[in-house]
Amino acid sequence: MPDLVMIPVGKGTDLSRTLHIPRDYEKAFDLISEGVTKLIDVGKTVFRSRNKVWKRYFVNVFDIGLGGNVVRIANNIPKNLGGFLTFLISSLIALLSFKPRKLPIWIDNKLIDEGLMTIIGALNGQYFGGGMHAAPMASVVDGILEFVYVKDTNIFKLVSNVLAKVYKGRHLEYHHVYHYQGKELRVKSDEVFLVDIDGEEEKAHEVVVTIIPKAIKIKMPRD
C-alpha cells in the first residue's frame, strides 16, 4: 500500500485540519520526506434505494439531512469566496427551505432515536463545512465513528445554538444536539433523503455506515 500525501485544495479542506496538514502547498510537499506515515480509518457507506444498491467511501464525514442541501448549494457558489464563507452562506440559504424529518437511527444495531431530525452526522475527522468543529473528540486512528445529530429544534434556535457555536465546538452544549460513538450507523426512510459524503451529494432510502480501521497510509506532520 503506497503512502498518500495530502495537498489541501478546494473549498473546505477540512480533513487537513484534523491531520494538521499545512495549507501552504510547499510545506505540504515537505511531508513526503519529513512527515511520518500513519494508518488512518476510512468510512464505508452502503446506499439503498427501491431498485438499487451501491457503495461509497469517505475519509472525513458523512451526513444526512441539512448537509445534503448545503452541499448542493455550496457546489454552485463561486469558488473565490473561500471555504468559510461558502459553507456559511450555503448553510443559511439551506436553512430557509429545509424541513426536519422523522428519521429512525440505529447505532451498532440498537434503535437510538426516531425524532424530527435536522442533521445526522457520522464523523471520522473533526471538521466539516469549511471549519465547523463538529466532532472535537474525533480521531482518524481509533477505529470508531462519532455520531452527532440535531433534532426537535427550529431555525432560530438552530442558528443561535448550533451554527453560531459549531466553529468552536460549543454546539455540543445545546441539549438538542446528541452525541454517540460506535462502529455502525443505519438510517432508513420510506421517502428519499439527501446525503453529503465528503462534499458530494447522494440520495437514498436507506444507508448503512461502517468504519474500516487502518485502511490507508498517509503522511502527517511529526508530533
Give the position of cell 508530533.
223
Rounded distance, CA 130 to CA 153, Å? 23
Residue with cell 510545506: 27
CB 49 within 8 A of CB 203: yes
Query: Judging by DSSP bridges, how do beta strands 200-220 and 3-4 pair with one another?
Result: parallel
Instruction: Tell me the average confidence (pLDDT) per consecutive run of 10 residues in the chain, 223 residues long.
Output: 79 86 85 91 96 96 83 66 67 76 96 94 92 95 97 88 92 97 97 90 95 95 83
Q: Helix, strand, coil shares of the chain as percentages rounded to 5? A: 25, 40, 30
pLDDT at 117: 94
* Residue 207 contacts residue 46 (beta carbons within 8 Å): yes
HSE at residue 24, side-chain half, CA atoms within 13 A, is 4
Topology classification of domain 42-213:
Tumour Suppressor Smad4 (2.60.200)
* 181: its cell numbers: 460513538
Q: Which residues of 15-52 are buried (b: 16+ CB within 10 A; e: fewer)?
A: bbbbbebbeeeeebeebeeebeeeebbbbbbebeeeee
Domain spans in the chain, listed from the N-terminal domain onward: 42-213
Q: Which amino acid is at 185?
A: L
pLDDT of residue 106: 98
User: How much is the pLDDT for 29?
Assistant: 83
- Cβ–Cβ contacts within 10 Å for residue 128, how many? 29
